[in-house]
Structures are given as structure tokens and as C-alpha cells.
Chain A
Amino acid sequence: MTTLHPGPDLSERRHDLRHGVPVPFASDTHAGYAVDHRRTPTEPADLGAVVKARAIQCALSRVCGLCGMSMSGTTTFLGSVMDAESNTFAFPPMHPHCVDFALDTYPALGVPVLGQDLVRREWVVVETGGFELERPSGRGEPVLFHPNSITSSTVVAAPPAG
């Protein structure tokens, strides 16, 4: 039986004006704890960046890196083939339906997205029960995630850019 997931609720996410897509929660400097909701962001979003404070918030609060809502059910990571091989992900875990939305939306923009510093053609979807959070060992270093009970790992080709 196929489980039908509703689409992600991205109504709270601001949109990137250049690409016309929602800015992922984990990439948005204007989201999350201690951000004054009255302040209007002036800087453009970097869709490839992962904001350290948001990544830690996602890990500790168990919220999705894309929609920023509470995780439920399966914990899913999305990354490059290299990320999967090293079991090290830069982008926080997401809902399965948020991963589907992210794969349909971001790689086609032809810019680095979702914690990657290069444009990726192949992505890996990893489902896991849990993960370890790796806090930055030095200044300026990223927050990283290591899935610890993987149930499936699937390579997915991204839709062509354009």
C-alpha cells in the first residue's frame, strides 16, 4: 500500500526572490529562535548555506531542515554520494515528503543547494532511526550529522537544471 503524504507546509518560509522558491529553514538567517519577527530581512538567501544555529536547533528540537516543523515518523537525510559514503551530512534531517519536495525543487535551479558547495546531479536519500550531532570542533567549522541506524539508502538522479 502506498502512503500518500501531504505536501510540506512551507507557508511560514520566506521566498528567495531570485529563484522564486522557499528558503529552507536551515538556510535562513531570518528564522528560528531569538529572531525578531518584526525585522525584515534585507540580505538575499544563500540556498547552499546551512546556518549553524539553525542546524543545531534542528538537531536538538527535532525539527525539519526544510519546513522547520516538528519531525514525526521517519528521519531522512539528503546529501551527495560522498556524504552518504562518509556517513556525514551537512544539511539537517527532513520529513520524507520534504525530501521529495526538495529534490523536485532545488537541484533544478543549477546552483549549490541544501548544504552542498557544488551543483549535484546525483543525490542520496538516507532513512534512519537516529543520528549523532557533531558540533563544530573549531571556529568557522560546520555542524555535521551522522545517521546511526540506517534503514535504507537510495540514489536519486536530480531533474536537469533550467
Chain B
Amino acid sequence: MAISDVQEYIHLSDEQIEELGRELDAIRAEIEESRGADDAAYINRMIKIQRRLAAAGRITLFASKYKPAFFAGAAMLGVAKILENMEIGHNVMHGQWDWMNDPEIHSSNWEWDTAQPAEQWKHSHNYVHHQFTNVLGHDNDIGYGVLRMAREQKWHPMNIGQPVYNALLATLFQWGVALHDLDLEAIRKGRKDPKEMKRQLKQIRRKVSKQLSKDYVVYPLLSGPAWLSTMKANAVANLMRNLWSYMIIFCGHFPDGALHFTEEELEDETRPEWYLRQMLGSANFDGGPLLHILSGNLGFQIEHHLYPDLPSNRYAEISVKVKDICRRYDIPYTTGPLHKQYGQALRTIIKLSLPNGMTTDDTPIDPTPVRERRRLTDKERQPRRTEMGAWSTRRTA
């Protein structure tokens, strides 16, 4: 299925799609023009809170032989790791704060507290996932190479074990992500350049050694007699981060209503079509400010996919406008409470462990079934607008 055949927006004329693109461009321009000191203060505050929390957690774990200190230290460290990975690392590496010109808080320089090297994340996530969002055969985030997440994917008897693979993926999430950019599918098919694979493996080995020595050697040794409980608490903190980030990420593209695509026309899709694919392939979840901060503002997954390099603290205000656009253009805006969104993703994992014939499709029923959904003919359409928008008047040298 090409993007232009997707039922959810086939009712729009070319002119309406262009107009929708212009409206989304205008939201972007507004944020670009207004970002400044308040946004910079936000990310600096987040980094300060995260570092204080991590330090408090590490210090508390010196007394981790006592149960209250064990649990308090592990919880503080776990939350610090979640903040670092979700709201800080992920968003900094998208270039959301590059405009500040701060050499530390910069996409080219940030290295995050997880096993995957930042460079590989910027390829597998920023490029492959964000460019080929929900495109089968390209976006390796669809099931992370181990789960069948779309009915269009061929069923294999190995899929019966999906509930177990899913539990393992959630528990060991940082290690799964660490191997993500190796592209196991390409290796299996012999398409992967061996030199590139060797370079990546070397990077992963270096990063994994650093992470393991930090959490399981250096800090336990610093705890002296409490070394074993510190080591255990660090493992608990890492597990907390693994389970949380797994759940948030799976809520972004797998609840009912988030669509999958095939690769036709992607190379030459226009910006408005790209916007549409991002909107239709992503799903939000509802919650308060604290939940959104702890999830890296990925509860606004639709807005994040439309504007991955705009500051995450602005997604809430952007979402009001995007929701309104979706309503006016009759495009689905998939959202719901976190438990419902994750429940749907989990149900998909379990259902798709079986062949399609044994399960029912959970694709939501068209919200406006009475409306005629087809492309307009040339005669029915308004004449093409001749004036040029701001994007196309820019000189291309």
C-alpha cells in the first residue's frame, strides 16, 4: 500500500493535503521563532534534577545493607536513569537543543547512560525509525526484530513464543537496543558490510564495558562493605529503566489505530505526505506533566514524530493545535490512557503469535463511515493554487 492509498486520508484532495502541510509548517515556524531562554532553562533544570537525583541515589546506596536505603537508593537511581534516557538523552540526540549552541547539550556530543552507543542510536532511531516510521521491512522498531507486530507480516511457527520473547525484551531492553543498529535481518541475509559490522561491534563492546564497569564494579567497590547490595540495587535501577522505556516505546506505535505502511513512494514523498504518515503511524497517551516528563514527552508521540527536533517541553502546546488539525481534516488522532494503550500493544503481541486466520483484526472501525472516501476526480477539484508558499519561495541556489 502506498501512502496515497491509505484509507484514513484518501478523502482529502491534493489541495487539502498541501493546505494541511502548510498549517503544520506554520506550527513549526512559530515554535522556531519563539524558542529561547525559557526552553533553555527547562532543559538545564532537567539536567540539574537528574544529576542530583543520580548523586543522591548513589550516595544512599553506600548504606544499601539497610533495606530502606537499598530501596530508596535504587528508586532514585532508577528514576535518574529514566530521566537521563527519556527526557534528556533521547531528545538531546534528536538535536532539540542544538540551537542553544551549548557544546555539552548537543546532538553531536551527548553520550547517554545505556548500552547502545549514541552514534548507533542516531542511525537506528533518528534516521531509520523516524524516516521509515512503521514501514514494514525498514523500520526495525516494528517488533525489534523478534516480535510480529503487524498482520501484514508473515506468520512463522517461532511466533508462538512471542509472549515469552516480549517479557525477555522488556526485561533486557537496554541490551536489545544495544544490538538494534546491527540490523540482524541484514546480517542474516548477508547484506551487511562486514567492515561496518566489525566497527559497530567494537563500539558496542567499548560502551558495554563502560556501562558494566560503572554499575557493577566501580560504584559497588566505592560502597565498601555494601558492595553486593549496591550491585543489586544498580541492577534494580537498570531493570526499572528497562521496563519503563520498553513500555513507553511500545505505546508509541502499536496501540490500535497506528498504521503500518509499505515502502512504495517513500523516496519521493512530499513533506505533507510525510507529515501524514507520521500522524497515522503514531499514537499518544494521556497523562499529567510528571508522567510526560518521565516518558520523555513521548506521550506526545504524534507531535514528536511531526517535529522530532523541536524542544520536547513544547509538545504539549503543539498537541492542542495538531489535534485541532486532525479534527478539521477528519484524520484519526490516536490517544488514550497509558494502561489502555499498552494493553492494546500487549494484546497485539499475544494475538499475532498466532496465524491471522485464528484471530480477528483490531483495526478500529472507520470513525466516519457515512462519508464517501475516495480520491476526487480532476473535475471535482478546485483549480490548483498558483501562488507559492513560504517553503517553495526559498532560493535553492
Partner of A75, one of B93, B102, B108: B108
Closest to B32 in A: A132
Contact: B396 with A137, CB < 8 Å?
no
Residues 121-162 of chain A: 1 if any B CB is under 8 Å from the residue's CB, otherwise 0?
A: 000000001111111111111101000110100000000000
Q: Given A37-B193, A61-B122, A130-B95, are A136 and B395 also a contact pair (CB < 8 Å)? A: no
Partner of A36, one of B32, B191, B274: B191
- Is B138 on the interface with A (CB-CB < 8 A)? yes
Q: Given A62-B126, A72-B108, A79-B397, are A130 and B98 also a contact pair (CB < 8 Å)? A: yes
The segment from B76-84, B263-271, B312-320 found at the interface with A is B263-271
Interface contacts (Cβ under 8 Å), in number, total 117
Contact: B101 with A151, CB < 8 Å?
yes
**Given the complex, which residues of B lie within 8 Å of A21, measured CB to CB?**
none
- Is B392 on the interface with A (CB-CB < 8 A)? yes
* A residues 41-57 touching B (CB-CB < 8 Å): 52-53, 56-57
**Given the complex, which residues of B lie within 8 Å of A12, measured CB to CB?**
195
Partner of A148, one of B99, B126, B192, B267: B99
Contact: B396 with A53, CB < 8 Å?
no
**Given the complex, which residues of B lie within 8 Å of A151, measured CB to CB?**
101
User: How far, in Å, is B269 (CB) from chain A's closest CB?
Assistant: 8
The 8 closest A-B pairs by CB, nearest first: A130-B98, A129-B101, A37-B193, A60-B127, A61-B127, A135-B271, A71-B108, A70-B119
**22 A–B contacts, CB within 8 A, in A order:** A38-B191, A52-B268, A53-B267, A60-B126, A61-B122, A61-B126, A62-B108, A70-B108, A72-B109, A79-B397, A80-B397, A82-B397, A88-B396, A129-B101, A130-B95, A130-B107, A137-B271, A138-B270, A139-B270, A141-B392, A142-B396, A148-B99
Interface residues of B (CB under 8 A from A): 21, 32, 93, 95, 98-103, 106-109, 119, 122-123, 126-128, 130-131, 138, 190-193, 195-196, 267-268, 270-272, 274, 308-309, 389, 391-392, 394-397
